[in-house]
């Protein structure tokens, strides 16, 4: 079915107030710059933009796919990969013309050639697979805990871990990840916030409160999905079973 572009005519300020977390960590607001259609049947697990092209991975058994998506219309352009029915798809990231894809509890990951979408390699890991991103050198993986794992993209072996803390409190339920301008952005499962993490220390630098977006989707599931276009410097967010995706600007004051 044809979707209609819902882009805003003017930016709408949804939440510009800031209120520090109990630990004193800043909590930022946001401004919606544009609103785009999003496939409401997509249980979004991973979101990434590579050379202007949006890719999305979805979850649920028997419904776990990777799609090329037209950002402006929200239309699925191509189903690039589908998992076996007994595997639940999770996060994706793209590095050096390879797309890396995690699964939830099967401890199994896939590496695709970005041009052909042929599976060029599989790999295994002991924990659950949740979110995935990279810093240009290593893959960075979450598993629902407060610890991120760094993987060598060539051997796909772990090379280190990092505990994520808000002051001295572990930040658990780290979910979808995106590496943006020297920081790791992480959705927090069952939360309307994104944590901004310093990769050299694991300290949470700030949170972004996106409650105003989540309440627009009472029939949807949790906030999940962060994509950053490094060429245009635009930041996009969505959620599981949400009918819209948003370009947002972070408001610090």
Q: What is the mean pLDDT of residues 146-174?
A: 98
- Would you place residue 1 in the very low, low, confident or very high pLDDT band (cuts 50, 70, 90)? very low
Task: Report the DSSP beta bridge partners of residue 163.
Answer: 147
- Would you place residue 101 in the very low, low, confident or very high pLDDT band (cuts 50, 70, 90)? very high
Q: What is the pLDDT of residues 111-130, one digit of tens each?
A: 999 999 999 999 999 999 99
Six token digits for residue 232: 């245009």
pLDDT value of position 11: 38
In this structure, how many other beta carbons lie within 10 angstroms of the beta carbon of residue 223?
27
pLDDT value of position 140: 99
In the chain, the N- to C-terminal Cα span, in Å, equals: 41
**Average pLDDT along the chain:** 92
Q: What is the pLDDT of residues 31-45, one digit of tens each?
A: 999 999 999 999 999
Bigger pLDDT: 18 vs 160:
160
pLDDT value of position 205: 98
Radius of gyration of the chain (CA): 17
Pairing of strands 223-229, 234-239: antiparallel
The three-state (H, E, C) secondary structure of 164-179, written as one string: CEECCEECCCEEEEEE
Q: Is the pLDDT of residue 3 over 90?
A: no
Q: What is the pLDDT of residues 70-86, one digit of tens each?
A: 999 999 999 998 999 99
DSSP string, 177-241: EEEETTEEEEEETTSSEEEEE-TTT-BEEEEEE-HHHHTT-TTS--EEEEEEETTTTEEEEEETT
| Distance from the Cα of residue 116 to its chain's centroid | 23
Domains in the chain (CATH in brackets) are 12-251 (2.120.10.30)
Q: What is the mean pLDDT of residues 141-163?
A: 98
- Do 153 and 96 touch, CB atoms closer than 8 A? yes
The CA distance from 199 to 136, in Å, is 13
The CA distance from 146 to 128, in Å, is 13
Q: What is the mean pLDDT of residues 206-210?
A: 98
Q: What is the mean pLDDT of residues 128-153?
A: 99
Q: Is the pLDDT of residue 8 over 50?
A: no
- Would you place residue 207 in the very low, low, confident or very high pLDDT band (cuts 50, 70, 90)? very high
Ranges of beta strands (E only) in 59-203 are 65-69, 76-82, 89-95, 98-103, 108-113, 119-124, 132-134, 139-142, 147-151, 158-163, 165-166, 169-170, 174-180, 183-188, 193-197
- Do 83 and 61 touch, CB atoms closer than 8 A? no
Q: What is the pLDDT of residues 44-57, one digit of tens each?
A: 999 999 999 999 99
pLDDT value of position 253: 72
Q: What is the mean pLDDT of residues 180-194?
A: 98
Q: What is the mean pLDDT of residues 191-201?
A: 98
The CA distance from 12 to 232, in Å, is 20
């Amino acid at each position: 079915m044809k979707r209609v572009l819902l882009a805003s005519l003017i930016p709408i300020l949804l939440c510009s107030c800031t209120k520090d977390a109990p630990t004193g960590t800043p909590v930022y607001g946001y401004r919606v710059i544009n609103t785009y259609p999003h496939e409401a049947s997509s249980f979004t697990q991973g979101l990434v933009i590579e050379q202007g092209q949006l890719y999305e991975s979805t979850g649920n058994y028997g419904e776990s796919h990777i799609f090329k998506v037209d950002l402006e219309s929200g239309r699925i352009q191509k189903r690039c990969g589908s998992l076996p029915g007994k595997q639940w798809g999770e996060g994706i990231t793209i590095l050096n013309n390879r797309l890396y894809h995690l699964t939830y509890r099967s401890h199994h990951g896939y590496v695709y050639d970005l041009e052909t979408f042929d599976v060029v390699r599989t790999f295994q890991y002991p924990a659950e697979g949740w979110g995935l991103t990279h810093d240009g050198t290593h893959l960075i993986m979450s598993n629902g805990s407060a610890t991120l794992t760094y993987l060598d993209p060539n051997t796909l072996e772990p090379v280190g871990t990092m505990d994520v803390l808000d002051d001295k409190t572990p930040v658990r339920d780290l979910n979808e990840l995106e590496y943006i301008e020297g920081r790791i952005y992480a959705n927090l499962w069952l939360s309307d916030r994104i944590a901004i993490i310093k990769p050299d220390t694991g300290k949470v630098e700030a949170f972004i409160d996106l409650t105003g977006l989540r309440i627009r989707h009472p029939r949807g599931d949790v906030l999940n999905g962060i994509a950053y276009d490094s060429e245009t410097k635009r930041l996009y967010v969505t959620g599981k079973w949400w009918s819209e995706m948003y370009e947002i600007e972070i408001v610090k004051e």
